[in-house]
A = this chain, B = another copy of it.
Amino acid sequence: MYVLLVYDIREKRVDKMRKLCRRYLNWIQNSVFEGEISEVKLKELLLKSESFLNLDEDSVILFKSRSQQWLEKQVLGQERSQLGEFL
């Protein structure tokens, strides 16, 4: 399953969320991750994130697709993911 994950999280929790997401998905921009992931692994990621997120303040949106082929990606400007390896 292809997943696109975007989050809007209070600064004090951003580092933790970024680290967690990087273990499951690929970072592509600021607070945006994407990747192929199984239902089980996705559930694991969400459960772990819920353990430290404050869902009254934070927001995570997932877009799921059975296959990436339904989505065409277009990038304007910098491809942040190329820098991602060094973060």
Contacts and interface: CB of A to CB of B under 8 A. Distances in A.
Contacts of A59: 29-30, 75-80
A72 B70 CA distance: 12
A19 to B, nearest CB: 17
| Majority SS at the chain A contact face | strand
A58 to B, nearest CB: 5
Which of A28, A74, A77 lies at the interface centre, i.e. has the most chain B CB atoms within 10 A of its CB?
Answer: A77
A76 B63 contact: no
Contact of A70 (B30, B61, B65): B65
A49 B76 contact: yes
A16 to B, nearest CB: 15
